[in-house]
Amino acid sequence: MSEYNFAYLDEQTKRMIRRAILKGLAVPGYQVPFASREMPMPYGWGTGGVQVSAATLTPDDTFKVIDQGADDTTNAVSIRKFFENTAGVATTEETEKATVIQTRHRIPEAKLREDQIIVYQVPIPEPLRFLEPRETETRKMHSLEEYGLMHVKLYEDISQHGAISTAYAYPVKVSGRYVMDPSPIPKFDNPKLEMDAIQLFGAGREQRIYAVPPHTKVVSLDFEDYPFEATKADHPCDLCGAEDSYLDEVIMDDAGNRMFVCSDTDYCRSRREAGHVGRLAEENAA
């Protein structure tokens, strides 16, 4: 792979992406159009995140990639490998040690620090897209801060189902101005969007970059009488016993028995190493 530039993209392209990132940081939650490139992996598989990571990484960085919270899911492995090959950066599975974390669908459980950057892969950056398919319309709605449609949708959810029926990609308002799609993270992760680290969002196919600077106010949309609720499966992790982590449900046998395990594999591992034991942990170790 040595015939390619550091982190694959040429410097000209990286500069263009960095400009978009800076603009995004200057206008939190605003979707900045950028001339997304074809990457050697398919659109929809993290090309936006990969381009943002490529423009962000320096040779001294330590890179972590997670998909569904796990470092060992196939696409996370594939993206990590891509940067090992094209940038030669150090990689890690430990949230703590990473300086740049690329993620799909989760925010790590461990609190991120000021010296870290988290890069989200975004499929559909437009929070209003499924209410209004036209980009020409949604851009106008953002510029006029016309978010009534979104509140009507949430209200209709409540009147029909008795609850807001959005479980992931739950819309937020950033810094009191732009309504933003936090990417398809479960709403459990929404409260973590106010953090110390820099958050960058890349949508390759849709050619958009947006950002949330550290310590920025991020409010999940709700109503006074139906406040936002960050929910998860009502169980502790069966391996590490954590009660505060987002859980995956795993079907264990033909009888349909279930177990619940941390979706953040690094969090689960570090807890088990620290001696925490879940319901099925011993059995598992045996």
DSSP letter at 226 equals B
| Cα 185 to Cα 122: distance, rounded to the nearest angstrom | 10
* β-sheet bridge partners, residue 180: 172
Query: In whole angstroms, how close is the CB of 95 to other proteins at the nearest point?
Result: 16
Please report, as residue ranges, which positions from 9 to 38 form the binding site for other proteins (by CB under 8 A).
10, 33-38
Amino acid, single-letter form, for residue 108: P
Instruction: Name the residue nearer to other proteins (CB basis): 3 or 115.
Output: 3
Q: Is 162 an active-site residue? A: no
Instruction: Name the residue nearer to other proteins (CB basis): 52 or 216.
Output: 52
- The torsion angles phi and psi of 71, rounded to 5 degrees, stand at -80, -15
| Cα 209 to Cα 13: distance, rounded to the nearest angstrom | 14
Contact between 61 and other proteins (CB under 8 A)? no
Contact between 118 and other proteins (CB under 8 A)? no
Instruction: Name the residue nearer to other proteins (CB basis): 211 or 216.
Output: 211
| Cα 286 to Cα 280: distance, rounded to the nearest angstrom | 10
| Cα 172 to Cα 154: distance, rounded to the nearest angstrom | 12
Contact between 90 and other proteins (CB under 8 A)? no
Residue 67 near residue 27, CB atoms below 8 Å = no
CA-to-CA dists, residue 117 to 51, 64, 200, 221, 253, angstroms: 14, 10, 7, 25, 39
Of 62, 184, 219, 226, which one interacts with other proteins (CB under 8 A)?
Answer: 184
Please report, as residue ranges, which positions from 224 to 263 form the binding site for other proteins (by CB under 8 A).
231-233, 238, 246-250, 252, 259, 261, 263
Chain residues in the site for other proteins (CB under 8 A): 4, 8, 10, 33-40, 42-45, 47, 67-69, 72-78, 81, 104-106, 123, 134-136, 161-163, 165, 167-169, 184-188, 205, 207, 231-233, 238, 246-250, 252, 259, 261, 263, 265, 280, 283-284, 286
Task: Name the residues annotated as catalytic.
Answer: 29, 237, 240, 262, 268
